[in-house]
Amino acid sequence: MRDEVSEYVAASPATVWDLVADVRNTGRLSPETFEAEWLDGATGPAVGNRFRGHVRRGGTDRNGPVYWTECRVTDCVEGREFGFDVVLGKRRINHWHYRFEPSGNGTRVTESFALYPTPFLRVYWLLAGPWRGRYNRRNMQDTLRRLKELAEAG
């Protein structure tokens, strides 16, 4: 119920972190979440800040269902890490995390997800896990490829 992918980006950790931690860039990076906005008057990343993402399940080039997810920032260290929980009511559903490590003249970026082990999600993962795991992995690879292109373009 978890996975991660990494990509080398020829840009500084601070540059790459800025692109990811400003959730308003999500639509430029994610194949599924086509926009995001800060909530409660927040204007940037900080632990505890909330945002919501507008998702088209299956990708923005598909006709899947469209819905909003609410998220809460859990990890926020400039140039090093950014993470958030997807929440439903007060229940945490999924944790997304980005790690930024200096590597040569650039940054090794690692994106990961981990589903929280609720009974519902255990059953869901048992039934759809192999498919959803491959799907999430492809989307993370696509997100990091888009991040690389954006960061390296300056």
Annotated domain spans of the chain: 2-153
Say yes or no to pLDDT of 127 above 90: no
- Split at pLDDT 50, 70, 90, the class of 20 is very high
**Looking at the domain 2-153, which fold is it?**
Alpha-D-Glucose-1,6-Bisphosphate; Chain A, domain 4 (3.30.530)
- Split at pLDDT 50, 70, 90, the class of 134 is confident
pLDDT digits (tens, 9 = 90+) for 36-78: 999 999 999 999 999 999 998 776 566 778 889 999 999 999 9
DSSP 98: E
Write phi, then psi, for 34 (nearest 5 degrees). -95, -5
Beta strands in the chain (DSSP E): 2-9, 33-38, 50-56, 66-77, 81-88, 91-103, 106-115
pLDDT digits (tens, 9 = 90+) for 87-102: 998 899 999 999 999 9
The confidence score (pLDDT) of residue 119 equals 77
The confidence score (pLDDT) of residue 65 equals 85
The confidence score (pLDDT) of residue 59 equals 62
The confidence score (pLDDT) of residue 113 equals 93
Write phi, then psi, for 41 (nearest 5 degrees). 80, 0
The confidence score (pLDDT) of residue 10 equals 98
What's the pTM?
0.90
The confidence score (pLDDT) of residue 60 equals 59
Query: What percentage of the chain has pLDDT greater than the value 70?
Result: 94
Residue 3 neighbours by CB distance under 10 Å: 14
CA dihedral 134, 143, 47, 108 (to 10 degrees): 100
